[in-house]
A and B are shown apart, each in its own frame.
Chain A
Amino acid sequence: MKATVYVTIKENVLDPQGTAVQGALHTMGFSEVGKVRIGKYLEVELDTNDRAEAEARLKVMCEKLLANTVVEDYRFELEG
């Protein structure tokens, strides 16, 4: 089973990298660009076929390590 984990910066937390990229895109002429937010994308291979168990354990992985829930949100998708 494979999990795709997305870690994003919380809405109320400033994302200086996103702001810099937004500025660069504007400079390049992409004036339609609004807010840009940068996050992390993780692919995690799991040695299990039990979906419920995988979800429960991924939640723990995210809460404990993959995301810092003080400043980040996370979500994940499971396939296979």
Chain B
Amino acid sequence: MKFAVLVFPGSNCDIDCYKAVESTIGQPVDYVWHTATDLSAYDAILVPGGFSYGDYLRCGAIARFANVMNEVKKAAEQGKFILGICNGFQILTEAGLLPGALIRNTGLKFRCHGTSLEVVNNNTPFTKEYSQGELINIPIAHGEGNYFCDAATLEELKANNQIVFRYAGDTNPNGSVENIAGISNKAGNVVGMMPHPERAVDQLLGSEDGKRMFTSILNAWREQHGAAVNG
């Protein structure tokens, strides 16, 4: 299974994503610059965190017009796995691949700490190794992670089981609607989340709860392609 980690000017979690793929599942992974016009070689695309284009205008607003994003849209339509983390989530909402928007944290502060996440939907290629309702420890680092969508979209998200992660209990760090920390598209092959699973792949980093996102993706892909699944 081949992974692409997109790199925009201002991405800063690209190396973390790359290393996480290497260390958790040992699959081939490439950095792909934002000018790329072909992603057909890749089975999964990671859109990493950071501050693409300096967050100018709005987070993700300029990155969504990068050449590579046309290819990301095609890959999404083909059912390939796409995971946007933090700024990557912002880019995917700006690109219209995921509904809603990420706005300024209600407390105005840049929040950088571990969070307890509830796995709301473990029936996605990204979360199948977690139990439904399991609490996992994944860090956040953002100033604009306040997920917003209108009431109709929220109903749709719920009806289609598109809420993937919520901040547990009363720990919502940014004011997001219904404590939403991560969502998927309708088909379930595109997920965006503010917390950083790639920063939680080893106890030395404070948590290894993010590992299973990567093993989930690999096993989901293997199931699709009839290959042996890792136990």
B51-62, CB under 8 A of A: which get 1 and which 0?
000000110011
Q: In chain B between 150 and 164, which residues have their CB closer than 8 angstroms to a CB of chain A?
A: 150
A36 within 8 A of B: no
Residues 102-118 of B, flagged 1 when their CB comes within 8 A of A and 0 if not, give 01111110000000000
Select one of B58, B62, B175 contacting A16, CB under 8 A: B175
Within 8 A of B (CB), among A31-78: 65-66, 68, 70-71
Compute how far the CA of A71 lies from the CA of B93 in the bound complex, rounded to whole angstroms.
Answer: 12
Within 8 A of A (CB), among B9-41: none
Q: Which residues of A contact B58 (CB under 8 A)?
A: 68
B150 contacts which chain A residues (CB < 8 A)?
Answer: 12, 70
Interface size on B, residues (CB 8 A): 21
Residues of chain B with a CB closer than 8 A to A20's CB: 108
Find A70's partner among B101, B105, B106, B107 (CB 8 Å cutoff).
Answer: B101
CB neighbors of A among B125-160 (8 A) = 146, 148-150
Since A16-B106, A70-B93 are in contact, a sample of 12 more A-B pairs with Cβ atoms closer than 8 Å, ordered by chain A residue number, is A13-B148, A14-B146, A16-B104, A16-B146, A16-B175, A65-B57, A65-B61, A66-B57, A68-B58, A70-B100, A71-B101, A71-B103
Q: Mark A6-27, 1 if CB is under 8 A from B, else 0.
A: 0001001110110010000000
A60–B146 Cα gap in the complex (Å)?
A: 26
B198 within 8 A of A: no
Closest to B94 in A: A68
A12 to B61, CA, bound (A): 21
Q: Provide the residues of chain B in CB contact with A65, threshold 8 Å.
A: 57, 61-62, 65
**What's the Cα separation between A48 and B23 when bound, in Å?**
55
Give chain B residues whose Cβ lies under 8 Å from the Cβ of A71.
101, 103, 148
Docked-complex contact A68 and B101, CB < 8 angstroms: yes
The interface size of chain A toward B, counting residues with CB under 8 Å, comes to: 12
Q: Does B100 contact A17, Cβ atoms closer than 8 Å?
A: no
- Distance in angstroms from B104 CB to nearest chain A CB is 5
| B107 cross-chain contacts in A, Cβ below 8 A | 16
CB-based contact B105/A16 at 8 Å:
yes
CB atoms of B57 and A13 under 8 A apart: no
13 A-B contacts, Cβ less than 8 Å apart? Answer: A12-B150, A13-B148, A16-B106, A16-B107, A65-B62, A65-B65, A66-B57, A68-B61, A68-B94, A70-B99, A70-B148, A70-B149, A71-B101
CA distance A11 to B41 in the complex (A): 44
What is the bound-complex CA distance between A66 and B56, given in angstroms?
11
Q: A17–B148 contact, CB under 8 A?
A: no
Contacts of B108 in A (CB 8 A): 16-17, 20
Q: Contacts of B146 on A, CB cut-off 8 Å? A: 14, 16
| Chain B residues near A16 (CB-CB < 8 A) | 104-108, 146, 175
B window 71-119: CB within 8 A of A = 93-94, 99-101, 103-108
- Which residues from B are CB-within-8-Å of A13? 103, 148
